Structure 1
């Protein structure tokens, strides 16, 4: 009964809050009366509050520009976790655009949708990301190309770093900075999740969204950690494969450190 009540109240908060914030976000996008990310941060924080997800941060977003974030990917909640406290834009797979709520939220924060299976469109997509970085947008790349269970970092796909090469090739920048970021879900109700229970926070592959959302809403009180590594310059002579391996190693190192010694819940 308590869990059902929690789900009802959480969904009610999201619906009522969205009815207020969506028009304000559309207004900011059309008029630029205030920065677009102001409303987005409020929206992300509201969703995290409804879910019961607390965010702990180690390090900070790099100041260098153009900047590409290379992060691991565990769930759709990764977007809210990052978007709640930093000014970033996201790169997401194309089918997310049609998802209820998440698709709308993605469009309202100018997400770049990419079709990873269609190589013919990859050049245009990389060019769009490169242009956005050249304009000052910090783009978040979930470099595994899929979601994992939170226990391991999957191999980073070097092809997804094509936007950095494109930005340099098109003359938008002499170099692009790439910053590794680890997103780790560590505790539930203050207790370390452990390998067995950590997938509770994960949304993997073709798993249906609503059952996963109900579990997350019913449980609540989940802790997530975001660890920022040092940015690495990517220039004309840089190798995408070597950069992908380096970012993967750094994200894996930060992930394992967070899992081994999770921060206290508060």
Structure 2
């Protein structure tokens, strides 16, 4: 019953927001950045997701935020904090409903089966960042069970920086981020229960979404790390991965990060 009590107002808010955002994107209005933030905040309030932030997003522009990835919830959680763009696999664009929302969020889609995709996507990322939009890259290339950080891939990080330089910019500031799901139903999440909120592997989206809506009461923390020093793509990926892993460990254990 609770899931349907959440779904109905979420659908209504979505139906109101879609034409407004479509018009804003088509006309390049400033509201194309603010409408998604308001939408995600409303959705999180309806679902029952509380977001805490540790640290702050860097004010530097152009900005590339490099993060771990746990769940579809990561999108509204991050989208509720500040105007930004995401990088997602091209399959998402074809998902019913969700594909449309992702396009209206001005998501950058990457075809992982195409060898030439990296350069094209990097160019799009550079263009968005040069236009003032922070870009979020889930650098693991997939999602995890929420208890760990998988190895970060360096290709898009390096290509985005190279594209920034090619367009005459100094290069993007890279800021590591850790997304940590820490509570459910007012109780702390342990290692065995945290995968209840994670969406990974071959999980079906619809049943997982309904289960999260049924439960509600989700507590998530966003840990923003210090921007990275300039360096090569592999060094940047390793440093961002190390920082995200340390911040996630601190969030899940309550101990200071071992940076």
Q: Give the shorter-chain TM-score range.
A: over 0.9
SS of the residue 2:191 aligns to = helix
Are 2:182 and 1:186 aligned?
yes
Partner of 2:200: 204
Aligned 8 A contact 2:179 2:223 in 1: yes
Tell me how far apart the structure 2 counterparts of residues 127 and 218 of structure 1 sit (CA, whole Å): 40
Aligned 8 A contact 2:123 2:160 in 1: no
Tell me how far apart the structure 2 counterparts of residues 122 and 32 of structure 1 sit (CA, whole Å): 26
C-alpha deviations, 1:75-107, integer Å up to 9, x for none?
111010010021111111110111233212110
C-alpha deviations, 1:43-73, integer Å up to 9, x for none?
1112212321111111111011111000000
Partner of 1:124: 120
Shift of 1:33: 4.7
Aligned 8 A contact 2:64 2:175 in 1: yes
Are 2:218 and 1:222 aligned?
yes
Q: Which of 236, 240, 256 pairs up with 1:247?
A: 240
Shift of 1:121: 2.1
Aligned 8 A contact 2:118 2:156 in 1: no
Aligned 8 A contact 1:57 1:227 in 2: yes
1:78-97 equivalences in 2 (<5 Å)? 78-97=74-93
C-alpha deviations, 1:135-194, integer Å up to 9, x for none?
222100000000000001000011121333322441331232100011110001111110
Partner of 1:176: 172
Tell me how far apart the structure 1 counterparts of residues 128 and 227 of structure 2 sit (CA, whole Å): 18
Aligned 8 A contact 2:118 2:159 in 1: no
**Which deviates more from structure 2 when the two are superposed, residues 199-208 or residues 143-152?**
199-208
- TM (norm. structure 1) is 0.91
Are 2:253 and 1:257 aligned?
no
State the number of aligned residues: 255
SS of the residue 2:168 aligns to = coil
Tell me how far apart the structure 2 counterparts of residues 130 and 233 of structure 1 sit (CA, whole Å): 19
Alignment root-mean-square deviation, CA: 1.5
- Structure 1 unaligned blocks of 5 or more: none
Partner of 2:49: 53
Tell me how far apart the structure 2 counterparts of residues 101 and 50 of structure 1 sit (CA, whole Å): 19
Are 2:9 and 1:8 aligned?
no
* Over 4 Å off, 4+ runs: none
Partner of 1:67: 63
- TM (norm. structure 2) is 0.94
Tell me how far apart the structure 2 counterparts of residues 61 and 88 of structure 1 sit (CA, whole Å): 11
C-alpha deviations, 1:91-135, integer Å up to 9, x for none?
111101112332121100111000123212221111121122122
Shift of 1:31: 3.3
SS of the residue 1:194 aligns to = coil
SS of the residue 1:180 aligns to = strand
